[in-house]
Amino acid sequence: MIDWSALRIGWIKRRNRVFANPRFQYWAARLPLIRLIARRRANAAFDLLAGFAYSQVLRAYVEGGLFEILQDGPLGVGEIAPRMALSETAALTLLRAGRALMLTQEAAPDRWMLGEQGAVFAANAGVQAMIRHHRLLYADLADPLALLRADRREATALSRFWTYAGALQGVAERGRQTAEYSQLMAASQHFVADEVLASVRFRDVRRLLDVGGGHGAFLEAIGTAWPHLELGLFDLPEVAETGRQHLEAAVGAARVCVHAGNFFKDSIPQGYDMVSLIRILHDHDDAPALALLANIRASLAAGARLLIAEPMARIRGAEPMGEAFFGLYLWAMGSGRARSPAEITTMLKQAGFAHARLVATAQPVNASVIIARA
């Protein structure tokens, strides 16, 4: 019997020896047919090396207000620098760095405008909120090995931010953090809702319950697009009441039913033909995630469905997002991990679901979708 794993391991070892050989690198860089591949790989390798610098350029544009400033463009360096409290030399350095990343472009000598990527970032307040938020991740990743060696229960900048009840308390001293939390959640839910709406039809759904639905941003988007839906929201008591107010104002009180509870300790409300988990499962380690899925399954009648939407690991074309970005992000957060569709499907079967399928989305970096049937 052929041991395919051993053959694959042997092939990878030989490939890596060849790629690491300086003679091969010299030869590959000069053959016309191979040169383009070699150049792409060299550029990708440099991007790995320089990625943090790129992200910090982007952060400087957001936190310095440069996107807003350049919406008044074209502007000269002498006009831009004082509005950012920078010297002209420093402002020019930042503008040139952004030019290389398509955040800016010099339309004429010393006439700076937004570049293609810059126009996208400038128009999206939600993305800018995420960029600001990532300062916490950068702080935790200043020493990545120290982070990985530490007990995951130790506090990090991210874990302190995501302490759920604390982040939602409206007391004065937490006002800024609460506002940042709300803006970030609304933005991330909007991205996921767009992917769900583009890939899932709710024509045959009558009642939709969003478990861990927060302030109702996802339900508002789905309910606005599908006005026949009755909407249910299940979350902690201090969150659910805010969600009720938001949803009733957005879609009308007659369509909204809000349930207060803890999805690990309390039964999931029954009577819904679809339940949604939006960016929830990957926040939890395997045992509590499986317990949550089993709790949802117990609430569903035969044939009812569970919709899971979140960034997932090992999605073709979005591999770095799943395990490189969210792998470390969730580690720093102290809980959860990005799972592949195969891993989630296995958990769904263990929880008692009869069938699960992956639904393709246009932008899997925002979310992938799995629908499971009870």
The strand pair at 111-114 and 104-108 is best described as: antiparallel
pLDDT at 339 over 50: yes
Q: Is residue 19 part of a domain?
A: no
Helix, strand, or coil (residue 197): helix
Same structural domain, 96 and 191: no
Q: How many independent structural domains does the chain possess?
A: 2
Single residue among 122, 145, 167 that ends a domain in this structure: 122
Q: Is residue 276 part of a domain?
A: yes
Q: Which domain holds residue 89?
A: 28-122
Q: Is residue 259 part of a domain?
A: yes
CA dihedral (260, 264, 268, 273) positive or negative: positive
With beta carbons less than 8 A apart as the criterion, state whether 264 and 288 touch.
yes
pLDDT tens profile 38-54: 677 778 888 889 999 99
Q: Report in angstroms the alpha-carbon separations of 195 from 122, 189, 201, 361, 371.
A: 21, 10, 11, 6, 14
Same structural domain, 318 and 243: yes
Tokens (6 digits) for 149: 């060696």
pLDDT at 1 over 90: no
Same structural domain, 319 and 217: yes
Question: Which residue from 166, 151, 215, 221 is spatially nearest to 191, judged by alpha carbons?
Answer: 221
- CATH number for the domain spanning 359: value is 3.40.50.150
Question: Which residue from 304, 299, 314 is spatially nearest to 358, judged by alpha carbons?
Answer: 314
For the residues 348-367, what does the mean pLDDT come to?
Answer: 96
- pLDDT-derived band at 300, boundaries 50, 70, 90: very high
Helix, strand, or coil (residue 306): strand
Single residue among 103, 122, 141 that ends a domain in this structure: 122
pLDDT at 111 over 60: yes
Same structural domain, 107 and 195: no
Contacts of 258 (CB under 8 A, 6+ apart): 232, 233, 234, 240, 241, 243, 244, 247
- CATH number for the domain spanning 86: value is 1.10.10.10
Q: Is residue 174 part of a domain?
A: no
Q: Is residue 151 part of a domain?
A: no
**123-137, 203-217, 272-286, 324-338: least confident range:** 123-137
Q: Look at residue 45 in the predicted model and tell me its pLDDT.
A: 83
For the residues 349-373, what does the mean pLDDT come to?
Answer: 96
The string over 104-115, giving b where at least 16 C-beta atoms fall within 10 Å of a residue's C-beta and e elsewhere, is bbeeeeeebbbb
The pTM of the full predicted model, rounded to 2 decimals, is: 0.86
Q: Look at residue 182 in the predicted model and tell me its pLDDT.
A: 62
Average pLDDT of every residue of the chain:
90
Same structural domain, 225 and 114: no
Same structural domain, 263 and 344: yes
Q: Is residue 64 part of a domain?
A: yes
